[in-house]
Chain A
Amino acid sequence: MKIHEYQARDLLASFGIPVPPGKMITSIEDAAQAFKAVTAGQTTPFAVVKAQVHAGGRGKAGFVKLTKTADEATEAARFMFTNRMKSPQTPPEGLEVKKLLVAAGVDIADRPTGGKEEFYLAITVDRTTRRNMLIASREGGVEIEQVAHDRPDAIIKEPLHPTLGLLSFQARDIAFKLGFKGKQVNQAAAIMSGLAKLFVSKDCSLAEINPLILTPPSTQFPDGQVIAIDAKFSFDENGIEARHKDLKDMADHSEENPAELRAQKFNLSYVALDGNIGCLVNGAGLAMATMDIIKHHGGEPANFLDVGGGATEEAVTEAFGIILSDPQVKGVMVNIFGGIMRCDVIAQGIINAAGKHKNPDGSIGFKIPLVVRLEGTNVEAGRKLLQDAQSKLPTLQAGIDLTDAAKKVCAAVK
């Protein structure tokens, strides 16, 4: 799950991490007022107007604009609200922009050694050590993967204690290593501690501030102020599901695949892919393996779909609806090894799905090839149900085993 930049800023602020003033707007008319509000007190006012979409490539598409007056901000807002954003990461028809962030511009102090005082700060779960890992670098504002690749010594890594979190001395130590001086040290350390608390208590899987910057000295901050300019979060879905209804409600589903959304409602784990063979499988490992074996025999899977262990007939019927809603799908492979899942439930779900499926010509039932491989709990009952329903399932073929089923479905869509 991802959240928008304006939400990420609010989250940072709620953990005491300073961010420049900003306002989320939903109409062109609000832009001028937002510009005035966020730039109040600036000697040379400027603000950045940014489209709130998850897809990348905003800058190049003209959906991030530096503005110096309220009129410029209004113009930027007009452009973003009335045009669809198109980038290599959006669908070809582009995305409709519904929300903008107007954020105060911030001056970044010059680094004595050249460049600007921009830093990178993130926390992620390190599976190898089973610890939350803080990652920091003096090379902020750029692709951190590139830094890590080119100059691994420019990356600082510090594990968080599993129950105590980030200790104060660790945060100070990193602040010194990043080159902060004087009053900047405690500011930076406080930001790290805040981010660590946020990460754990909100069940993040990634919390990233890039860039974290230092402003030039001012009367209020004689050593400059350390501020988070942009932030990115992703969350552990198990954590969100278990205890963060507030975060779940923050999710904006408008950019997600509609079939994946529909699957979520029925607790089906579905990922759309590019091929033409639909897959319906129980268990994540077997579902991945089914994709693999289809590819192994020269086919292309259209999706990953795990119906899970506790699925009902209705969920199976729905799963079929989701798979067949993809116009690319030319054949379906069902691969079930019943454990908790009973083969007769799957079989009945298939029969019900066929009875509900409406073809473009108005007829009912499956017209595309269907290969079913059943094994495990109640397999005999499941097979019998399918056999008895043969007249309703004219395109059904039984797969004797995994290879047989994969070969049959690959041959059928050729």
Chain B
Amino acid sequence: MAILIDKDTRVICQGITGAFGAVHTKGCNNYGTKMVGGVTPGKGGTKDENGLPIFDTVNEAVRKTGATATMIFVPPPFAGDAILEAAYAGLPVVCAITEGVPVQDMIRVRAVLDEMNAMSAMPTGSSSGKPVRHQRITLVGPNCPGVITPGPKTGGGGSSSDPYTNAGCKIGIMPGYIHTHISESKCTRGKAIGIVSRSGTLTYEAVWQTSNLGFAQSTCVGIGGDPVRGINHIDVLKLFDEDPDTAGIVMIGEIGGTDEIKAAEFIKAHVKKPVAAFIAGRTAPPGRRMGHAGAIIGGADDTADAKISALQAAGVSVALSPADMGSALLKAMKLG
């Protein structure tokens, strides 16, 4: 099951001929993701090094490949447009990996996506009387590592014909091999964990720690480090809570914004599964941007300590050291 993506997800890459787009298309392909093509305006009709067809527009790519998700590596000034092109083409899952997208672009993009999603929720919508065609769009990112639903390892990984996993789906830049599928012998506890995070490498750290403790991962979602983005902690928490394959949740937040505070309220009111959390940036000085555009302390509510207190009050097992994310999860699941 997992959330958002699985073995049947058909993925295109926007910006497939760029340096990063090409490298990671290959990486995802070799992992076992069903990569079906890519888009670079002006290079339609050619093929990439993996033999995947390249199209001029997302619309054409979707029609000809049956794609259901996209991975965006388009440079920052054009990434907002790329997200909307994907949304207009009807792709339900849009992962924007690009770092450095202007905040003003994301304000406009989110507003358009929210409007499209509101319309898709109506029973009938278009002026012609026909129902609106597109489904709900889920934007992940930008400035994120992407989404991965691990598959059972095969031992390969050299190419798409010899993939690293069977039935895994990786959309993004994370190292696939650190993840564990529930069928693997390493998963001694027979349980899979969902991970949601604003940070890339800290997600890998959580994957590593939970794998070493005998857990698998159902799906890992990097929601990204920008102040205005697609899905938030709450959206992913809700999906994990409803997913029968997810036994527990690790949530990784950081300073800046109040999403983790809202997530704490949501967890308290709705989430039935055990949740562990870590908040990065307890030692960050106020007013300075810590790498991520979204990681800057402004008010009293967006400090790490305020978020930690709110999560603890919601019954979440909070790791105070990043090395203790795994053990905090054990505690949340009453296993340690």
When A130-B107, A237-B289, A304-B284 are in contact, do A284 and B208 touch as well, CB less than 8 Å? no
User: In angstroms, how far is the closest chain A Cβ from the Cβ of B234?
Assistant: 12
Report B-chain residues with C-beta under 8 Å of the C-beta of A243. 77, 102
Report B-chain residues with C-beta under 8 Å of the C-beta of A403. 321, 323
Q: What per-residue 1/0 map shows which CB atoms of B241-281 lie under 8 Å from chain A?
A: 00000000000101111100000000000000000001011
Query: Is the beta-carbon distance between A162 and B108 smaller than 8 angstroms?
Result: yes
Report B-chain residues with C-beta under 8 Å of the C-beta of A338. 175
When A292-B283, A376-B175 are in contact, do A286 and B107 touch as well, CB less than 8 Å? no
Q: Write the chain B residue with the least CB distance to A402.
A: B323
Residue A356 at the B interface, CB < 8 A?
A: no
Q: How far is the CA of A31 from the CA of B292 in the complex (A)?
A: 43
Partner of B208, one of A130, A131, A281, A337: A337
When A127-B227, A203-B102, A239-B104 are in contact, do A339 and B252 touch as well, CB less than 8 Å? no
Interface size on A, residues (CB 8 A): 53
Q: How far is the CA of A281 from the CA of B280 in the complex (A)?
A: 14
Residue B119 at the A interface, CB < 8 A?
A: no
Partner of B108, one of A128, A163, A237: A163
Q: How far is the CA of A296 from the CA of B323 in the complex (A)?
A: 11
Query: Is the beta-carbon distance between A288 and B107 smaller than 8 angstroms?
Result: no
Report A-chain residues with C-beta under 8 Å of the C-beta of B255. 288
Residue B133 at the A interface, CB < 8 A?
A: no
Q: Write the chain A residue with the least CB distance to B102.
A: A239
Report B-chain residues with C-beta under 8 Å of the C-beta of A239. 102-105
Report A-chain residues with C-beta under 8 Å of the C-beta of B175. 338-339, 376-377
When A238-B76, A291-B283 are in contact, do A339 and B201 touch as well, CB less than 8 Å? yes
CB proximity to A under 8 Å, residues B186-238: 197-205, 208, 225-228
Residue A241 at the B interface, CB < 8 A?
A: yes
Q: How far is the CA of A9 from the CA of B234 in the complex (A)?
A: 42
Q: How far is the CA of A281 from the CA of B202 in the complex (A)?
A: 11
Partner of A286, one of B202, B257, B283: B202
Query: Is the beta-carbon distance between B102 and A285 smaller than 8 angstroms?
Result: no
Query: Is the beta-carbon distance between A337 and B284 smaller than 8 angstroms?
Result: no
Q: How far is the CA of A65 from the CA of B280 in the complex (A)?
A: 45
Residue among B106, B205, B282, B292 with the most chain A CB within 10 A?
B205
Interface size on B, residues (CB 8 A): 62
CB proximity to B under 8 Å, residues A293-319: 293-296, 301, 304, 306, 309-310
- Is chain A's binding surface mostly helix, strand, loop or mixed? mixed
Q: Write the chain A residue with the least CB distance to B204.
A: A337
Q: How far is the CA of A215 from the CA of B255 in the complex (A)?
A: 43
When A301-B283, A338-B175 are in contact, do A285 and B200 touch as well, CB less than 8 Å? yes
Q: What per-residue 1/0 map shows which CB atoms of A320-358 lie under 8 Å from chain B?
A: 000000000000000001111000000000000000000
Query: Is the beta-carbon distance between B228 and A288 smaller than 8 angstroms?
Result: no
Q: How far is the CA of A235 from the CA of B281 in the complex (A)?
A: 23
Query: Is the beta-carbon distance between A288 and B280 smaller than 8 angstroms?
Result: yes
Query: Is the beta-carbon distance between A284 and B295 smaller than 8 angstroms?
Result: yes
Q: How far is the CA of A294 from the CA of B284 in the complex (A)?
A: 12
CB proximity to B under 8 Å, residues A23-73: none
Query: Is the beta-carbon distance between A401 and B228 smaller than 8 angstroms?
Result: no
Q: How far is the CA of A130 from the CA of B139 in the complex (A)?
A: 15
Residue among B101, B145, B200, B203 with the most chain A CB within 10 A?
B200
Residue A184 at the B interface, CB < 8 A?
A: no
Residue A200 at the B interface, CB < 8 A?
A: yes
Residue B174 at the A interface, CB < 8 A?
A: yes
Residue B125 at the A interface, CB < 8 A?
A: no
Query: Is the beta-carbon distance between B100 and A269 smaller than 8 angstroms?
Result: no
Query: Is the beta-carbon distance between B321 and A293 smaller than 8 angstroms?
Result: yes
When A284-B290, A301-B283 are in contact, do A125 and B227 touch as well, CB less than 8 Å? yes
Residue B178 at the A interface, CB < 8 A?
A: yes
Q: How far is the CA of A185 from the CA of B184 in the complex (A)?
A: 70
When A130-B228, A293-B322 are in contact, do A285 and B103 touch as well, CB less than 8 Å? no
When A241-B76, A401-B323 are in contact, do A288 and B103 touch as well, CB less than 8 Å? no
Query: Is the beta-carbon distance between A242 and B102 smaller than 8 angstroms?
Result: yes
When A239-B104, A377-B175 are in contact, do A339 and B228 touch as well, CB less than 8 Å? no
When A284-B292, A285-B254, A306-B291 are in contact, do A376 and B204 touch as well, CB less than 8 Å? yes
List 20 A-B pairs, Cβ < 8 Å: A125-B107, A239-B103, A239-B105, A242-B100, A269-B291, A283-B200, A284-B291, A285-B203, A285-B254, A285-B280, A285-B292, A285-B295, A289-B280, A291-B283, A292-B304, A293-B321, A295-B283, A301-B283, A304-B291, A340-B23
